[in-house]
Structure 1
Amino acid sequence: MADEKDPVTVLEGDAAILLWLAGRKAWNIWMEEHPKASVNFEGVDFSYRVLEKRFPDNENLKRLIEDQKDREVISFFGYKFSGNAIFSSAKFRCSADFREAIFSGGANFMLAKFSDIANFMNATFSGNAIFDKAVFSVGADFIDSKFNKTMSFFKISYGKYFRFASVDFNSKSRFEPEHADSIEMLSFKGTSFERPFSLKGDFNCIPDLRQTKTSHHVDLSKLTVKLKRDRKNYAILKKAQDKEDAERLCRLKEIAESNKNHERALAFHADEMRAKRWIKLNWLQSILDSLYSFTSNYGQSILRPFVLLMLFIFMFAQWTISFREADSDSDFRDALTVSIATVTPFISLSKGARDRGLERIFGEDIPKDYDLISYVYAFASYTFIFLIGLGLRNRFRI
């Protein structure tokens, strides 16, 4: 006869709340006596005011309220969960303290609402940790925590900061918030990713992945960031608000390059250079960097240098035709031919076309300094041609 599996103990409803109110020691003793027991707090409203109405005569609750007059905290500090822990759709009306909590089974916080700080520092998740569609009004701390199986923050809402510094991710993980633009600080500094990790969203901050260890693919293909800069004195002097953003962007660039994602690597490099401008670069370097940004967006744009090249060609042609002799039968087409031929000497017919055009416009009397201006125009035009080539190379790079 097949062995029958032992029934799994499920602690839920009032019994679960009353045991939690009894304190950490009583809770952990019960968990030791009931290995693999599941706990179900689904939909529970963790508010002392609500709980006081539900358990008006509970002495443990009265003591908690008395001890936390200044600031309410829903504390699971050091609590052990021997089986699955279900907090889906639970409401934490004040700070939630899960520091050093041990989740031996799965931890389900799907659709949970945290009205204040959610603190999971030094927590251990041995099973899947699911925070999908959870709402964080302030933020969450997971510093020095450990995730041994899947970690998922999919379509989480709001939250100003999330800190995953020095965390061990031993299985696949993802951080894909629905409202990434509300996050002001996101840190994975010093974290170890032993399995694939996905980071997606349009962030108004620079995620910090410095000092991270990546053993598998880190997907940044859907990650966009916004470098925060302040204008100093003049419009051109826009400096990064945070001096460390350049290093953060450098690390994002390195990860994108290791993934052969050239488009994202270029975007991160562009923001990295903007973050260095007027801070790590001197004034001359910063001016040249600003020109590089304006003319080609750091090699990402083909249209910008092309438009500037066309503009210079027509401007030089107009300037050339303005010096023609009054009795000259030349027209704008001759000046345009001279302008194009000046920047395309590598085409065999350009020299002859330029000479004939100049003769029709000026005859033998070429204006003073015309050749000098032509050199300046040619140099600028060659620069735009180079930037067009750079943009094409970056666009179609394999």
Structure 2
Amino acid sequence: MAHDNKKVVLKGQAAIELWLQGREAWNKWVEENPVADVSFHKADFTKYGVVPFENYKFPKGSVDFSQAQFGAGDVDFTQAQFGDGGVYFRETQFGEGDVYFIMAQFGNGYVDFAKAQFGEGDVYFGEAQFGNSDVNFAQAQLGEGDVNFAHAQFGEGEVYFGHARFGSGEVSFKNVDFGDGDVIFSKVIFGNGPIYFNESKFGAGHVYFNSAQFGENNVYFYQVQFGGQYTSFAKAQFEGNVYFNASIVSGMFAFSDIRNVHKARTVSFKYTTFESAVNLGGNRFSCVPDFTNTKLSHQLSLSHFTVNPRKRNSDRFVINFIIALQRFCFGHKLKHSRVKKALELSNKFPWVGKITAVDKKDIDRIRRLKELAETNKHHKLALDLHIEEMKCSRWIETTSKRALFAEFLFEKFGDYGRSIQRPLVGIAATGVLCSPIYYFNSTVKEPLFTDALYYSFSQMLHLIPSSRTGRSELAIKLFESTDKIPNHIFLLSWAQSLISIALVFLVGLALRNRFRV
């Protein structure tokens, strides 16, 4: 024990010897020295196995466990009480056992676990109470076991987990009160265990999950309150399902440029309330984000936003045909890769097989997104979502073969009103293909093919006044008189006119959709 400017400092071997005397002796010393510093800096606990500090009280000065080393046993700070000085576990190496800070009480001093290394055991900070200073877990290695901060309470300081790394176990921040300081999980790497932030409360500070990497398991933010002016998940990486259901977001919310989001099968914001602007730009989902029953009061940014609903072939005819053909060519037994190839080929013929949505609820989700796109004047996205709605509705809501055939023509000849080129090519092709029919059915001895070609196109442009005069003159050149035109030629002309009207309509529809104001 030493005195530094009349302040008691317990450190080194003296601190270890007092700890070895047990809790009662330690707490009695703290009562006699309420203002003192305690230092286990670089202390070696590896030879003691289990390291109990359960219900230990620490004085109001600083407590330093930085660069200390713990062995294979558990480390237990359950219900430990720290004073208002700084608490330092920077670069501390915890061993292979579990680490307990359950119901530990930290004072208003700075709490530093930066670069601490936890081992293979579980880490528990459940119901721990932190004071009003900053809490720093920057670059901490939180081990391979479960990490549990459930019901922990933070104060007014900053909570920093930037660059921390979690293992493969479950991570729980359920019912955590993060206080009113900024909360930073930027560039955190989570493992492949499930991650829970359910019913947690973020206060008035900003919340940053920028570039955080979430693993392959699910991430839950059920009933979370984001009370700050800005919450950002920009450029975060998700590979599992993501749930923000029934949460309340008071400030601006950024869920933009998410990496690997195409691997997520579910992204849900159902029943969530957004009280400020929301940015979902730059995301390419392979599912349909669920915004049903959400409340948005400000602008929703959807720039460079796409969805690709999962679909399946409910009719096995095409798949079975392709597999049978492969068996004929390659033998009776097929490799998994060839069966997978058959499935991929069958999806390229959606009108032969019954390609429909895997999840029927995607239809309502798309409708909600379409509504939001229309509200925010994003006409192109609204049109794209309307098309996805039609595709997902096939064989579910749209079951009439006539309706499906009309949709088939609408897709092939107009790309659902998005293509100008397709109907123009259709007009030209119809005119050229009908020309030989008029030519070979001409009643004059030596008709000119150019006259037949012009006559064919005049049938398609009958709304133009000059076309009417030209059509009559060309009819005389091909059939000597309009009275001598064969009946089947009249029928062809009538059909060609109807086709041209439909194709001209598709051109106008595409122009309207492209240049809509």
Question: What's the TM-score once normalised by structure 1's chain length?
Answer: 0.86
Q: In 1, are the aligned partners of 2:130 and 2:154 still within 8 Å (CA)?
A: no
Partner SS, residue 80 of structure 1: coil
Match of 1:121 among 178, 185, 198: 198
**1:72-151 pair list within 5 angstroms:** 72-82=145-155, 83-93=157-167, 94-104=169-179, 105-115=181-191, 116-126=193-203, 127-138=205-216, 139-149=218-228, 150-151=230-231
Alignment deviations for residues 251-294 of structure 1 (CA, whole Å, 9 cap, x no partner): 11111111111111111111111111111112232222232222
The CA deviation at 1:27 is 4.1
Residue type matched to 1:36 in 2?
N
What is the rounded CA distance, in whole Å, between the counterparts of 1:16 and 1:145 in structure 2?
A: 32
**1:9 and 1:289, CA in 2 relative to 1: closer, same or farther beyond 3 A?**
farther
Distance 1:258 1:324, change over 3 A: same
Quick one: distance in 1 between partners of 2:243 and 2:88? 31
Equivalent runs, 1:219-298 vs 2, <5 Å: 219-233=301-315, 235=349, 236=351, 237-283=354-400, 284-298=402-416
From 480, 488, 492, give the equivalent of 1:369.
488
Question: What's the secondary structure of 1:327's corresponding residue?
Answer: coil
CA contact (8 A) 1:164 1:187 kept: yes
Q: Which residue of 2 aligns with 1:40?
A: 136
Q: Does the 8 Å CA contact 1:95/1:114 hold for their aligned counterparts?
A: no
Letter in 2 for 1:371: F
Shift of 1:214: 0.6
Shift of 1:326: 7.5
Higher strand share: 1
Q: What is the one-letter code of the residue matched to 1:383?
A: A
Aligned to 2:507: 388
Give distance in 2, aligned partners of 1:9 and 1:321.
Answer: 100
**Alignment-mate amino acid for residue 113 of structure 1:** I
Q: Which of 430, 434, 458 is the matching residue for 1:312?
A: 430
Distance 2:210 2:99 in 1: 27
Out of 221, 240, 244, the position equivalent to 1:164 is 244
Q: Do 2:103 and 2:129's aligned partners in 1 also have CA atoms closer than 8 Å? A: no
Q: Once the 2 structures are TM-superposed, how far is the Cα of residue 298 of structure 1 from its aligned partner? A: 2.1
Per the TM alignment, residue 97 of structure 1 is displaced from its structure 2 partner at its CA by 0.5
Q: Any conservation in 1 of the 2:431–2:453 contact (CA below 8 Å)?
A: yes
Residues 111-120 or 319-328, more deviating: 319-328
- Call closer, same or farther: CA 1:328–1:224 in 2, change over 3 Å: same
SS class of match (1:154)? coil
Partner of 1:208: 290
2-side partners of 1:373 and 1:295: how far apart? 20
Deviation, 1:86, is 0.8
1:186 partner amino acid: V
**Matched residue of 2:502: which SS?**
helix
CA offsets 1:55-102 (integer angstroms, 9 cap, x no match): xxxxxxxxxxxxxxxxx4210111111121111111110221111111
**Alignment partners' CA distance in 1, 2:88 and 2:441:** 92
Task: Provide the TM-score with structure 2 as the length reference.
Answer: 0.67
Q: 1:101 & 1:131 partners in 2: Cα distance? A: 16
Cα deviation per residue 1:298-326 (whole Å; 9 max; x = unaligned)?
22222222221221121122332232357
Cα 1:336–1:232 change in 2 (3 A) is: farther
Query: How far did 1:164 drift?
Result: 0.6
Distance (Å, rounded) in 1 between the aligned partners of 2:288 and 2:106: 40
CA distance, structure 1, for counterparts of residue 435 and residue 367 of structure 2? 43
* Distance change in 2, residues 1:11/1:380 (3 Å): farther
> Which residue does 1:24 correspond to in 2?
102
Partner SS state of residue 287, structure 1: helix
- Let me know the Cα RMSD of the aligned residues: 2.4
Q: Which residue identity does 1:46 align to in structure 2?
A: L
Partner of residue 447 from structure 2, selected from 320, 329, 347: 329
Equivalent pair of 1:328/1:360 in contact (CA under 8 Å): no
2:85 touches 2:108 (CA, 8 Å); kept in 1? no
* Residue 380 of structure 1, CA deviation: 1.4
Q: 1: CA distance between counterparts of 2:93 and 2:207?
A: 21
**CA shift digits 1:41-64 (9 cap, x unpaired):** 11111115xxxxxxxxxxxxxxxx
Q: Distance in 2 between matches of 1:9 and 1:205?
A: 50
Structure 1 stretch displaced more, 269-278 or 322-331: 322-331
Offset of residue 123 of structure 1: 1.0
Identity of aligned residues (%): 27
How far is 1:117 from its partner?
1.7
Contact 1:10–1:39 (8 Å) recurs in 2? no
Larger radius of gyration: 2
More deviation in 267-276 or 9-18?
9-18
Q: Which runs of 5+ in 2 are unaligned?
A: 1-83, 110-127, 319-348
- The structure showing larger relative contact order (alpha-carbon pairs under 8 Å, at least 6 residues apart) is 1
Task: Give the corresponding residue for 1:153.
Answer: 233
Shift of 1:26: 1.6
Identify if the C-alpha distance between structure 1 residues 303 and 33 changes in structure 2 by more than 3 Å, giving closer, same or farther: closer
Measured after TM superposition, the shift of residue 194 of structure 1 is: 0.3
